Structure 1
C-alpha cells in the first residue's frame, strides 16, 4: 500500500496527466461520429466531445500551472532514507523517490514518534 502513495507535487502532476489523456480520449471518441459517417448525430456528437475534450485539456493546463507554481515555493530537503533532495509541501509529505514520510514539524514526524517509542 505504501507504493501507491506519492508526494503531493507528483499527485498534482498525475491529475494533470489524467486530464490530458482523458481530454484526448474524449476527442478521439467524438471523432468516431464523423469517421463512421453517422450523419447529423455524428456531427453533433463530435462537436460535443471536442468541446468536452478541449475543456479537459484546459483544466489539465491549469493543474500543471498550479503544480508548477506550488513547486517553486516548496521547501527542499534531503531525504534521510535515500539521500536525494526532495520537496516538502505542507506539514507532512512523502519523498518523491522512495516514498518515505517526511515532516518539518516534530509533532507530525512519524520517525520521531517511532524513535521515542523504541527509546522508552
Structure 2
C-alpha cells in the first residue's frame, strides 16, 4: 500500500485525483481561449476538453470499481479503536486508526498474546 491507509480509501483517493486532474485540464483549456483567442485557441481548448473528459471517465470507473469492492469486503471490528471497518485481501489497515489488520493466522503478530500469557 502506497499511502499507508485502507485499500478502499486508496482507490477512492486515486478516483479523486483523476477527477481533479480532469477538471484542471478542462479549465486550462478554457483559459487558453481567454488568453490567446482565435481559432487555434478553440482547437486547443477542444483537445484539453477531450483529455479532461477521459480523465473524468477514468475517475468514474475507479469509483465504480471501489464501490463494487466495498460491497464484497469483509466487515470486522478494529481491535484498537473498536469501530467497524472493511478489509480487502489478507491484510489491510483500519479506515480510522490505520492499524494493520489480518485474518491470516500466519501473518498475525502474537505480541499481545505473549503479554497476556505472562500476566496470568
Mark yes or no: TM-score above 0.5: yes
Secondary structure of the 1:90 match is coil
Q: TM-score, normalised by structure 1?
A: 0.88
Deviations 1:32-91 (A, max 9, x none): 121224323211110110000000000000000000000000000000000000001000
Which residue number corresponds to residue 56 of structure 2? Answer: 57
Mind listing any 5+ residue stretches in structure 1 that lack a counterpart? Answer: none
For these two proteins, the number of residue pairs brought into alignment is 115
Report the equivalent of 2:66.
Answer: 67
Question: What is the CA-CA distance between 1:117 and the residue it aligns to?
Answer: 7.3
For the aligned residues, what is the CA RMSD? 1.8
TM (norm. structure 2) is 0.88
Q: Secondary structure of the residue that 2:5 maps to in structure 1?
A: coil
User: How far 1:108 moved relative to its partner?
Assistant: 1.4
Runs of 4+ in 1 over 4 A off after TM superposition: 115-120
Distance in 2 of aligned mates of 1:33 and 1:44: 10
Q: Which has the higher helix share?
A: 1
SS of match in other structure, 1:36: helix
Q: Which residue of 1 aligns with 2:104?
A: 105
Mapped partners of 2:7, 2:46: distance in 1: 35
Kept in 2: contact 1:7–1:94 (CA 8 A) = yes
Where do 5+ consecutive residues of structure 2 fail to align?
Answer: none
